[in-house]
Every structure is written in C-alpha cells, then in structure tokens.
Amino acid sequence: MARMKFLCDAERCIDCNACVTACKNEHEVPWGLNRRRVVTLNDGQPGELSVSMACMHCTDAPCASVCPVDCFMQTADGIVLHNKDMCIGCGYCFYACPFGAPQYPQTTNFGSRGKMDKCTFCAGGPQGSNSPEQFEQYGRDRLSEGKLPICAEMCATRSLLAGDGATIGAIYKERVLKRGYGSGAWGWSTAYRDSPTVV
Amino acid sequence: MLTRRRPPAAPRSQSAVAAPAALDRRGVLRASGLAAAALGALGTLGVSTVKRAKAGEVVPGVAEETRKSVCTHCSVGCSVIARVQNGVWVAQDPAFDSPINMGAHCAKGAAVRELTHGDRRLKYPMKLVDGAWQRVTWDQAIDEIGDKLLDIRQKSGPDSVFWLGSAKFMNEAAYLFRKFGAMWGTNTVDHQARICHSTTVAGVGNTFGYGAMTNSYNDLANAKAIMVMGGNPAEAHPVSLQHLLRAKEINRARLIVIDPRFTRTAAHSTDYIRIRPGTDIPVIWGILWHVFQNGWEDKDFISQRVYGMDDVRTEVAKWTPDEVERVSGAKGEELHRVAEIMAKNRPSTLIWCMGATQKTVGTANVRAYSILQLALGNMGRSGGGTNIFRGHDNVQGATDMGLDVTTLPAYMGLDETAWRHFCRAWDVDYNWMVGRFASKKLMETKGIPSTRWFDAVTIDKKLLDQPDNIRAMVAWGHAANSITREPVMRDGIDKLDLLLVVDPHPTTFAISTTRKNGAYLLPACTTFESAGSVTASNRSLQWREQVVKPIFESKQDIEIMYLFAKKFGYAEQLCKHIGVVDNVPVVEDILREINVSCAATGYSGQSPERLKLHMQHQADFDPVTLLATTGPNKGEYYGLPWPCWGTPAVKHPGTPNLYDLSLPVMRGGSGFRARWGVERNGVSLLADGVYPVDSEIKGGYPEFTMAVLKKLGWDKDLTAAELATINAIAASNGTPDNNDKVSWQIDLSGGIHRVALMHGCAPFGNGRARANAWNLVDAIPIHREPIFTPRRDLIAKYPALDDRRDYRMPQLGKSLQAIDHAANFPMILTSGRLVEYEGGGDETRSNRWLAEIIQEAYVEINRVDAARLGVKDRGMVWVYGASDNSRAYLRAHVSDRTGPGVAFIPFHFGGVWQGQDERHRYPPGLDPIVLGEGVNQLTTYGYDAITHMQETKVTLCRVEAAA
Amino acid sequence: MIFRLVPILMAALLLIAAPARAIEIQSNQPSDDTAALLQKLDVSRMPDRTQGFVHIQDQKAGVLIQPVGRIFRDVHSIGQFWLDAAFIIVAVLSMAALYFLVGSMDFHRDEKGRTILRFTGFERFIHWLVASCFIVLGLTGLNLVFGRSLVQPWLGDDAFAELTHLGKLAHNFLAFPFIAGLAVLTVQWLKHNLPDRTDIVWIKMAGGMFGGPHPPAKKFNAGQKMIYWAAVLGGGALVVTGIALMVPFALTDILGMQLIQVAHSLIAAAMIAVVIGHIYLGTLGVRGSFEAMSTGRVDINWAREHHPLWVADEAAKGKLGPNYL
C-alpha cells in the first residue's frame, strides 16, 4: 500500500514558484491563502537553498491531535485531510504544525479565523467525490483520476517529488549518491518519523 | 451524519489497495529519476488507477476536450495541456509527453489558464476622448484609425508610421506583419528582439553565419562544463535548469556563473565570479589570455574552420591578468581556473542572455563569446556551442520572419535581390512594391529602431534621413516600459498624432502620456486563442492549437492585420495565395508561403502537416537527443529545428545542433555558413579539409548557386520544372540568359536545396567562422566603457565610439561619455528579470496568481552601501537616475546578492511614476493588480553600434534613504 | 614539532589566500563516500527552527520548519488535557470531602430575623455579571479542551461542531462584559481585600472550618481575599492571554502564541477549580452566605459570627439602627 509523502530536493529547487501557482490554478485558491510556498535560506549568499513547503501529511499529525473538534482524518494513503464544515477556525492547528501549513481567510480570531485551508495532496476533501461542491471547498481531487499532486507534476526541475514515500525516497537517494551531495530531505523526519534512506 | 471519521468508503480505500499499474514513460516520477528514459519499477505506486489516461470530468456530465498549446512566456517552449469544457478553459494538466519540458513549468507557465479568464484584459476597442476611455466598435475603430494613418501617409510618407510588432506573434502572424509593413511602404517594422537579443543575432550571425542558439536546451545535458555569463536561467528560463542540473549531476559538470549579482543561478553554481557590469570583453579576453598562454586552444579546429584568429591573439595579448582585474574586478587566478575548466572539460558550453547583449558593445560582446568557443573548438558539438537563451516565446520566430527594421524575412536584408525575391514569392509586381515606398533608396535603407522611436518623433526632422518625423505609433504586442529613457518616451507619446495599441491589455503605452485624444486600444487575443507555429530558442517549431476562441471582442492578430489591409487597399496582395475565411487568413497557408519563401533560414521543410504530426506524437522523441526513435516521425528531430532543408517532401529531419560535422547533412549536420565569399586578402574563407559526414565534396565549399552547381556538374540533377522556375527567376532578375546568380536562398522551386542535399552538401556552404568580422565597426571586439560609467579613469584608453549617424538618425557616443555623471551618481544601476513576471509586466501583473507573489517593485542594495547610506532592509529609498531628472521611490532589499557599488532593479513594473500612483490612468477595471516604479524611468542613452540595442544593464544612479 | 606546525601553517595560508571575489560553493562539491552521504540525507532530526526569505507578503511563511510545534502538540494534547482535568477533579473531590467529612458550617439564627446590608445592588450585579460570564466562558473553554473526548462521541460530529463554534463565539463575545465587570469588581472591592494582620490569625485558625473558635474578620476574611486575588490576577491573566489569542501574531510570534495558549488553558482550569471551591463555600459550605449575594442582606448573627470587625465598623458608622443594639 502506498504511503503518500512529499520530498523537496533543495539542491534542485530554484524558487521558480511553479508549485505555488500550479496549486493556486488547480484549486482556485483565493488571494491571501498560500497552501504552498517556497522558502529561501541564506538568501543572496553562497549556500543559498530554496525549499518548497506545504502540508507534509505527517504521520501522527500534530494538527489532528490538537483540533478541538477532531475534524481531521488520515486516509489509508496517509494523506491528512480535514472537514471544513466542522472547522471552527480556532487556529490551534497552525500552532502545532511544524511546517506552517494551515492557512486562514481571516487574520483576527475574534469569532473565528474562518475555515482553515491547506494542501490536500490534491486529494480533494472528505466527501471523496469530485463534485463541484467539493471543488468549491477543497479544490480538485487528482488522486482519484490516477494523477499525482500538480505541484510536483509541474515542478520545473523535478525538485519537488510527491508520491509513495518508498519510491520518492529511492529517487532522492539515487540522486544524492549519483551526484555526490545533498543537503538533506528538509522536514522528512519531523513529519514522518522515519528516514528517507530506504533499505 | 458522519460519526467517527474513517476514510470514506468507496474511493479512498479502493484507491489504497488497487493493483499497482505502471505510469507511462513520461510519468512524472520517471522523469524525476536521473535516467530520463529508463527508470525501473515505478509501478508500485499503489495509487488509484481507476481511470488512467482519460481525465476525469471537471464539471460532471459536461464533455471535455484536451488541447495542446505552447506557453506564451519564454523561449523554452513548454507544452501546455488545456482541459476545455463548453469552450472554456477549466484546468491545466502537465504535458509529460513533450520532450522539451516533460510536464514541467515555472510559475508563469503553471498559471497561464488565467489568461483566457481575462479578468483585466481589454474586452473591446476603446478610444481616448477628452481624457476618458470610451468603448467603440471594431468597424468604427478601423475606419478612424485607418483614415488617420492614410492621412499621415499621404502628407508625410509611409515612414512616418512606426509599426512595432511583437515577439508574441506566431510565425505566421510575424511573417504577415512584415509583409503588411512592406506593403504599407516602410521598413520601420520592429519587435522586442531589438531590445533583447538583436546584438546576439548580429554577433553570432557575423561570426558563424546564422543568428541563433546553436544547440538545444536538452542537449546541454551533454555538456561537461557550463559557463553562464550575463544570464540568469534559474529565473528567466527555469525549465532549462532541468537540463543544466542534469549535466551538473550526471556528468559532474562544473557550472560557472559570471555575473555582477549572486543570482539564483549562481546559487546552484560550482564557481561564481563577480564582475563590474559592462566589462564583459575584458573578462572573456582575460579567459582567452590563459587559454592561449597555456596552449589550450584547439589548434586543429582553428586552422580548419576559423578565419582571423591571429588578429584576436593580438588583441587578447593586451589583456593581462593585471589589466583584467583593473578594469573588471575579476582576479587573474579566478579566470585561469575558468579557462582551465572550460578547456579541460570539453565539450563545454557557453550560455548568455541579456547581460551580454544589452550593452553599447553588445554585438562585440557576443562576438567575443563566440570567439572563445571557436578557440576552444566547442562549436558544432553536442554539449558545446554558443547557447543563447532567448526571451519571449516566439522572439526567435519573429526575428526569423524579419520583424526587424534591417531586413526582410529570413535575414535576407533589404537590397534589390531580396525585394525581388519576396515580390516573386508574394506574387506581386516588383515595381508596384517600389511604388509603395517614398523612394527606392528608402526601400533599401534600414528603418528607425524601436529603441529610438520617440526620438524620431521629437527630433528636428532635418536630422532624419526620411521625409518627416514619426507621427503615429502602432504598438502591437509590445510594452512601453521595457525601453530605456522613459521620461523622454513620454514626451514622444505626447507629441504623436496617433497612438494605437493592439494588445490583450492596455499596456503602459496607454498610461504613459498626458494626451487627451488621438489614442486607441484594440483588443488582440492571446497566443492561446489562436493556432499557428512558434519557434523556440533551440530553433524547433511547435504547432499551437487554438485552446478557446478569442474571448470578449478580441481578435487574432492576423485578422486585425487583414482588416487594416482591407482599409488600406492591399488586402488582396497581402493574401494573394493565402485563404481567408471570415476576415481571418488561414494560418496553414501562411506557413506554406513561409516554406516557399524563407528557405534562406531553413524554414522550407516545416510544413503544417509535419509539425502537427510531431505534436501528436511528442512521446516518441528522446528528451536528450530530441530524435524520434519510433513512430511516424522516426528519424526526425523534434520540431524540425531550422535549418530544415528542402521542401517538406525531401523530409529533412531538422538540425539539432548547428555546424556539426559529425552528422551527414541529411541527418542534421553541416559546417559553418559560407556567408562572406570564398576568400579575403588571399586567405580562404572556406573550411579546410573537413566536411560533414558523407559529403561528396571533401572540404570547404561556397554557398550553392546555379554557377556552383554547373561547375560541379550537378545541375543535370535538377528536374525540368525546377530548372524552369530557376530560369524564370533569372529572367525576372534581368538576366534571362544567365541563371548563374540564382542562389539557394532565392530558388523558389527548392531544386538547388534538393540537389545539394542529394550529394551530402549543405546548401549554405561549408565555410570558416569569422573571428575577424571586417565589416563591423570593431572587426575584433575591443572593450569600450559604457556611456555612463563610474570609471572615468578608463575612458581615455577605452572610449565609446565616436558620435555617428546610423538608422536614419544621429547616434551619440563619445560626446555623451565625456560628461562626468559619476560625481553625482556614484552607483552603478543594473536591471534584470524576476521569474514571476515577464517583460513590461502588464500581462503577468494582471494574473492574480503571479501578482500575489511579488506585490511591489524594489531595489536591491548591498549591505555595505546600505549601511553607508543609512538604508534599512525593507525601508523606502529614492533612486535618482543620471538623466532627465528621473527618480523612483522604491522599497530597498538589502542583501549581499548585489555587489558593493551596484544597485539592481527588476524591470517588469509600471504604473507608478516618481512616487505618484497612475492607476487611474488605466481604463477602469483594466489596471494590473500590481503596479510599481519601472527601472526604465531611470535608464539612459546608449546604443549598440550594429543593432541600436539599448544599454539597460549598466548606467549610473544615486540612492538616498527616504523619510 | 615541525610536522604539527605544517598543517596549521597551511591552513592559515589557505585562509589568507582565499580569493575574495571568487567563491567555490562548498555544498556542491561532490563526494563519493556513500555512508557519509546517506547519513546527511536526513537533515531534520528535530532541528532548530529554520527561517528564510519568502517573496509573499505574509512573512510568517518564511519559517520553514518550527519543530517545537510537535512539542506544543504534546503539551496541548497530553499535558494540558490532564493538568486541566486534574485541577478540576481535585477541586470537586476536595469540596466533596469537605462536605461529607467535615460538613457545613452553620450559625445561630437571630430570633428577630434582623439582617444587615452586606452588598449593594450594584455590587451584586457586578458579581453576578462576572460570575455568569465566567461560567459560560469556563464551560465553552472546557469544551475546547474536553469536548472532543467527552461530548463529541454522543452528540455526533455535526452537532458538536456547531455547538463548539457557537461556544467559541460566546467565548469571544462574553469576554468583553467579563472584562468590564472584572475591572469594576477589582476596583470596587480593592480596599477591603488588602491583606492585614487579621488574615494571619484567620489562616492559622483555618477560619474555624475544622472546629474550634471562629477567628474574627473584617468585611472579607483571608479566604475570601484569596478568592478575590485569584479572580483579579488569574482573571486578569486570562484576559491578557485571551486577547492575545484573539489577535494572533499581533503581539508575539508563534512561540509566544503557543505558550499563551497553554497558559490560558492552565490558568483557566486553576480558576475553575478556585471557583468550584468558591461556589461550594458560598452555598453548601457556609450556611447563610448565599443571601449576601442574592438579597444582599445577611442575618445579623451570621455577620457577627463571621465578620465581627466589619459589623463593628458598620455600627460605628451608624449603619445599624437602634434595633441592633
């Protein structure tokens, strides 16, 4: 069975933001919500590295744990989804998320921060259908069409990998060994509590 | 109601346990592995494979179509898959099959769907009436504009209208536009190449024979060392990094970046050298100095295929490491290392972009780069070459189609031979054509360049080599804020009799003026709403399908041209052999006309049918060699990169890498183009003892004319029909009894091509590349300081050119350089690109997904300078330009990316002028989301000697912290 | 000796000779040491917080990884959960123990039924305003901690989510009357709650709760003063943290928000525990107290027994009529 994961090969990421706009495009994500973003470390200096980051769909997801209404679920593939109808917009999931994935339409929490929005691994929402209602709320469900997340499918340099963890771990390992360097799989062990080096 | 949440029943758990199925060859993970074409067991994805290839319906129950086009934003040429329902573009999918991008995009390509959503696009024709934009009908607009233009033509001559075309025209539209301009009666027909790679085309064209990228983006994966100088592909051509990084990772190729800024490309480099902007020739000669010193040059290659290298040695000897460092800042041992890497890791490739070209010595820069690669013997090799990453999606095609004030299509120039050739191809009377112009002399004189168009409006007309000033400007798919000296340009727009903008957006032309009347906006549709061919930087042609019909009231460019041609009375001549349906010329017919008339640049073999077949079977092409290994296109290179010799029936496969002798000509090989004759001053200009594989001539040979054929005895291989056509051409050229001079370039039958190919020869000859280009003002590139330079101590030894006249106008040089601006404007100002925006920026800044990422303009300043000036990171500053009392109010980004003494401003912005917001000047609802101060408000005078390219990469400024 | 100097000298030379302008990018130097490479692959074993540059406006997005989120999760889901529960359970159990083992404190009713005014209408209004707000705030707050485990299973997801959302709205809106009331309460009773000597004695004698003579007290005894200060300080802390939670990141960064959220919860649970005690004592625990807050008038004997010094004060001020002598 596949366990879906993300891996961003920082040695290849050039901060082109294709992943960012592809996600926006595919799911019509409104202005102000950034499901995916590219962070550049050591900007402008030797040793500069860019990493594309969104929800990592963690094992034992902290967001799911702290949610007061338990609106999160994890599919059999390991994808962490949440139910926007139940979300009360309290913001705790953002405090718990190591990766800053949850996004909110409102900035103040008076009443609510609005329905939390985040990367769905292009798996749509909990309804499990590709209906217009689900698209409206969560965006498109690519996985049910046999496709992978659009951010990784459109990455300019094949830096961002998405798919079965064993497969993408193997691809990354192959690259690192072949080219002789690699800065590491940022966030992998924080998210998945294992190592990308597959035996 | 849901109780305890478990995965919803059917789809999810089914997806988890479905039998694994292999993705097809271009599946994204497959392409992510190092071996592009063969990665083993990827089938274990375990993802739902319920419906594999057929995309799921986006709106349930509505039929969906898939259309394939090519991205509009840069010259890499990434395929775009559009999912269309009910004539609306509803979703994008990655185009894994394309060998060029294999599904990848950058931020812009991943966001193109927004273009046909068209929030802020021009929706209908508009006219400026007493300062307000009003809606008018197409008929009214064409009528009024046409009347006005005809009036100007009648009173001042056809040269008083500037027809500024676009690098976003597809090939057919570009060709038709050039024809349209010719029939209007002027050579003042230009496009973005002037401000982008015009110096490249002139530079490499004058060195090797053709002005284009020699290899392909894909082929760069074969390089063993890569040098990027004056280019930032990580931001300007992101998808090309797939191939560069592949070379770096698999070949362990060194990636050398030489640039005043530590760019995103430099961040992935193995070696980075910072230099002072405007010192490219000293650095290249500095590298070559080490090459010659150590004997690393390829002596065989030089003796067999290069002319004039000894003259270069003389110049290079002056550039000792000390002198190089004094001028450019690059240290001797650094350049020694670069030279060694490039020499000892061949094939090594040299890549450049605007950093080389946008200088007063742009052509010379490019020639120096080319000479370096000649010296190293890297030319004509897979993994080597001079690789120019061009800008717009079809700037290569538009340049090839002659949207250039110096030439007709296919770089044939403006002499009588060229005109007669096209008149034949267009089936119009040559004398009629002469009559369209103000004079035969002006017909054969290059026009006013786009970089000086506004000077031609305001200058005293006695100083112009044409009857009158420019009085009308037609800006057709070109921004205003990408040209230097905006303050002066604003004056020019104000003084026009008529401003016409034909564009999907109003552009900065619409707002850069205080005029209240005499301006029109006509909505052109985007490249996704028309079909046609487009030429990527690697010379491959791709066929775009029309994704959706033109939205709102926009029209295709070719339709608008036809409507104007009707108004001006030459629609029949314009489309004599081109079908027209509902005022829209048939694109396939135009391409066929190109095939017949543009053989001189090898556009003869790419018929619409062949190109469409390539697009239908993209997956058959290998992503490194671009060769189809199977299927109906087997043996052809993707997109039939020009030169694709002979008629389509000849089935030449295209030329993947230019000047490659290791392949037979019928498989894409050739020597250098023998463009300058057979010998000069007793020295041969033809290749010596080397020739393409299987060539019957075992050595160099000139370009093929009937005289050459007859000398070889191959004229008997011509068919009767071909010979008849050739004789008819000779007759119409005035020599009915002697067809010697009919060359491969003007032979409309294609016979000379075919015969040359039959004998394993390239129609354009097998010549030597020129290290010495004697016809240029600097035959050997020499360093000249920028017009606006901080190094006053160097201008005595390295002065700008003398003031001269060129392109019908005065061109200043030395006299301007003599003025000392450095005291008041001590910092160097340079400019460049951001990945999120393109060109003048009005289109991309209107795209909400791109606009959200970069919401304001800024200036990059080094930490040291910021500390000295009291500028805080993210604080506001005033930047003062060295001319025209210019200034801009910008946010400062303080970092070490730019070196001390240099400031960098991205050029994509417009709509804010010297701190004043100009949003209200746009027609309501059509203003781009993001506005900002554009760097060209601050840039200055300075033009290349050969092409009149502008100097945007180095000028002077002063930065002050704002309150 | 020399051999040891050589590498040092070489290193020094290399440092001096390193070209200032040309940079060889160290991270891109390939190596063929498989084991070392594989070890580097997994770079983020609970790393420090990693922050960089982002183009987009929201600069918080520049934090690439904040691993302390996982710690927050443990503190929130486990630590806070059980500590909050502990506070409340301990409070309930102690009061139950008090009631069943020690019993209520009673007093001798006045045969003539004479009463003394203890709290004015305004004071009572303020108390009940704060109290009722606190109860709703407390319950809705507890719902955010315990609702998922205790309420959701039998109420069902949709109804529970709806309820919690309404609860959150109530929690936010009622904060404001709570703040206003608490402010007035603080001011109106500040004078009487300043600690003094009688408190020491009172505390030593445990207020007479476990038998023995009843220690004297002024208007508020030490126990009540403790409640007051708990309400003021604890309530004040809840107000400050609560407002910070209502305007996330306006006042502090994410680490601050995490700490504030946990603090708010723990302080609230402690306050609920205190209030449980207060409610017990004010109703069952000490007979005759409730009237102080309901009618505002208490039995004169009750007053003499529990707050004799206050009664004397009132008498001296002439607040008692001739009936009371």
**CA angle centred on B535, ends B532 and B541, rounded to 5°:** 70
Cβ-based burial of A128 (10 A; exposed 0-12, middle 13-18, buried ≥19): buried
B820 contacts B789 by C-beta, under 8 angstroms: no
- Lowest-confidence region among B282-286, B410-414, C62-66: C62-66
Query: How much is the mean pLDDT over chain C?
Result: 87
pLDDT of residue C189: 95
Give SS3 for B913. strand
A9, closest residue in chain B (CA to CA): B32
Q: How far is B927 from chain A (nearest CA, A)?
A: 17
pLDDT band with cut points at 50, 70 and 90 for residue B2? very low
Question: Looking at residue C193, what is its pLDDT?
Answer: 95
pLDDT of residue B580 exceeding 90, the answer is: yes
Q: CA C133, CA C177: separation in Å to the nearest integer?
A: 7
Residue B20 has what pLDDT?
28
Q: Give the best residue of A92, A168, A174, A177 to mutate against chain C (max C CB count within 10 A).
A: A92
What span, in angstroms and rounded, lies between the C-alpha atoms of B399 and B407? 10
Cβ atoms < 10 Å from Cβ of C87? 20
Q: How far apart are the first and last CA of chain B?
A: 60
Q: Is B59 on the interface with A (CB under 8 A)?
A: yes
Partners of residue C149 in chain B, C-beta under 8 Å:
none
Mean pLDDT of B508-531: 96
Per-residue pLDDT band at A1 (split at 50, 70, 90) = confident
Ordered DSSP codes for B928-943: -S--EE-GGGT----B
Choose between C226 and A136: higher pLDDT. C226
Note whether A17 contacts B239, CB cutoff 8 Å: no
Look at residue C30 in the predicted model and tell me its pLDDT: 72
Strand ranges, E, within B150-309:
161-164, 189-190, 225-229, 254-258, 271-273, 306-307
Quick one: pLDDT band at residue B9, thresholds 50, 70, 90?
Answer: very low
Please tell me the predicted confidence (pLDDT) of residue B37.
30
CA angle B94, B98, B99 (to 5 degrees): 135
pLDDT tens-place string over residues C83-140: 999 999 999 999 999 999 998 988 889 888 899 999 999 999 999 999 999 999 999 9
Check CB contact under 8 Å for C58 and A34: yes
In whole angstroms, how far apart are CA B604 and each of B213, B257, B608, B663, B745? Answer: 19, 37, 11, 20, 10
Q: Burial of B462 by CB count in 10 Å (0-12 exposed, 13-18 middle, 19+ buried)? A: exposed
Residue type at B586 in one-letter notation: V
Q: Which residues of C touch A70 (CB under 8 A)?
A: 148, 152, 157
Position B438 pLDDT exceeds 50: yes
Interface test with B, best of A6, A147, A161, A174 (most B CBs within 10 A): A147
Instruction: Give percent of chain B above pLDDT 90.
Output: 93
Min Cα–Cα distance to chain A from C134, Å = 18
Q: With 80 as the cut, is the pLDDT of residue C11 above it?
A: no
| Among the ranges given (B15-29, B35-49, B702-716, B939-953), the one the predictor scored with the smallest mean pLDDT | B35-49
Interface residue of B6, B272, B835 to substitute, partner C, most C CBs within 10 Å? B272
pLDDT confidence band for B289 (50 / 70 / 90):
very high
pLDDT for the residue B29: 53
Q: Does domain C118-319 have CATH number 1.20.950.20?
A: yes
* Minimal C-alpha gap between A153 and chain B (Å): 6
Structure tokens of B847?
């795209």
List strands edge to edge, sheet with B79-85.
Answer: B64-70, B79-85, B88-93
Distance between CA B617 and CA B98 in Å, rounded? 9
The Cα–Cα gap between B461 and B467 comes to: 7
| Closest Cβ opposite residue B853 in set C21, C56, C157 | C56
pLDDT at A142: 93
Q: Model confidence over B454-480: pLDDT tens digits? A: 999 999 999 999 999 999 999 999 999
DSSP string, C2-30: HHHHHHHHHHHHHHHHS-SS-EE-GGG--
CB count within 10 Å of CB B127 equals 19
The shortest CB-CB distance from B848 to any of A20, A31, A175 is to A31
B329–chain C Cβ distance below 8 A for any pair: yes
Paired tokens of C246: 């209502």
* Any B CB within 8 A of C30 CB: yes
Residues B844-861, mean pLDDT to the nearest whole number:
96
Query: According to the model, what pLDDT value does residue B43 have?
Result: 27
**Chain A neighbors of B50, CB-CB under 8 A:** 144-146
Pairing relationship of beta strands B827-832 and B955-961 according to DSSP bridges: antiparallel
Q: B22 at the C interface (CB within 8 A)?
A: no
> Do the Cβ atoms of B98 and B563 come closer than 8 Å?
no
Average pLDDT, chain B: 92
Report, as an integer, the average pLDDT of A127-131.
Answer: 76
pLDDT tens across B734-745, in order?
Answer: 999 999 999 999
Which whole number is the average pLDDT over B519-524? 98
Q: Is the pLDDT of residue B60 over 70?
A: yes
The residues, any chain, with a CB within 8 Å of residue B778's CB and separated by 6 or more, are B361, B364, B945
Contact C76 A66 (CB under 8 A): yes
Please indicate whether residue B577 or residue B46 has the higher confidence score (pLDDT).
B577
pLDDT at B27 over 80: no
Q: Read off φ and ψ for residue A9, nearest 5 degrees.
A: -80, 95
Residues 126-165 of C with CB under 8 A from B: 153, 156-159
**Beta-carbon separation of C55 and B330 below 8 A:** no
Question: Mean pLDDT throughout B129-137?
Answer: 97
The shortest C-alpha distance from B214 to chain A (Å) reads: 23
Contact status, residue B302 vs residue B687, Cβ threshold 8 Å: no
All structural domains of chain C with their residue ranges:
118-319
> What is the gyration radius of the CA atoms in chain C, in angstroms?
31
How long, in residues, is chain B? 963
pLDDT for the residue B15: 29
Q: Would you call B91 an interface residue with chain A, using a CB distance cutoff of 8 Å?
A: yes
pLDDT class of C29 with cuts at 50, 70, 90: low
Q: How confident is the model at residue C3 (pLDDT cuts 50, 70, 90)?
A: very low
- Burial group, residue C94, by CB count within 10 angstroms (0-12, 13-18, 19+): middle
Determine which of C14, C28, C56, C158 to mutate to test the interface with B (most B C-beta atoms within 10 Å).
C28
- pLDDT per residue over B227-274, tens digit each? 999 999 999 999 999 999 999 999 999 999 999 999 999 999 999 999
Average pLDDT value for residue range B130-157: 97
Whether A178 contacts A24, CB under 8 Å: no
- Scanning chain C, the segments in alpha helix (DSSP H) are 2-17, 34-41, 68-74, 81-97, 121-150, 152-155, 157-189, 197-204, 222-229, 235-246, 254-280, 290-294, 300-306, 308-316
Pairing state of beta strands B472-476 and B498-503? parallel
A126 touching chain B per CB within 8 A? yes
Among left, alpha and beta (phi > 0; psi -120 to 50; other), residue B535 is beta
pTM for the structure as a whole: 0.91
Q: What percent of chain B has pLDDT over 70?
A: 94
Q: Which residues contact B728 (CB under 8 A, 6 or more apart)?
A: none
Burial code of B694-716, b = ≥16 C-beta within 10 A, e = fewer? ebebeebbbbbbbbbbeebebbe
Return the pLDDT at C113.
87
pLDDT for C233 equals 97
Q: ipTM value of the model?
A: 0.96
CB atoms within 10 A of CB B8: 17
pLDDT at C20: 31
Question: Can you tell me the distance from the alpha carbon of A93 to that of A91, in angstroms, rounded to the nearest whole number?
Answer: 5
Contact B269 C57 (CB under 8 A): no
Output B370 or C207, whichever has higher pLDDT.
Answer: B370
Residue holding tokens 């805080």? B872
Measured CA to CA, the distance from residue B630 to residue B667 in angstroms comes to 16
Residue-by-residue DSSP string for A31-73: TT--SSEEEEESTTSTT-EEEEE-----TT-HHHHH-TT--EE
- In the structure encoding, which two tokens stand for residue B729, read together? 């051409």
Under 8 Å CB pairs connecting chains A and C tally to 202
Element (H, E) at B878: strand B876-881
Statement: residue B51 has pLDDT above 50: no
* Residues in B 523-582 with any Cβ partner in A closer than 8 A: none
> In which residue are the tokens 């961040």 written?
B267
Q: How far is A146 from chain B (nearest CA, A)?
A: 5
Residue A99, CA atoms < 13 Å, CB-side half-sphere: 28
The interface residues of chain B toward chain A in range 718-777, judged by CB-CB distance below 8 A, are: none
Of B15, B113, B242, the CB nearest to A156: B242
Domains parsed from chain A with CATH numbers? 4-191 (3.30.70.20)
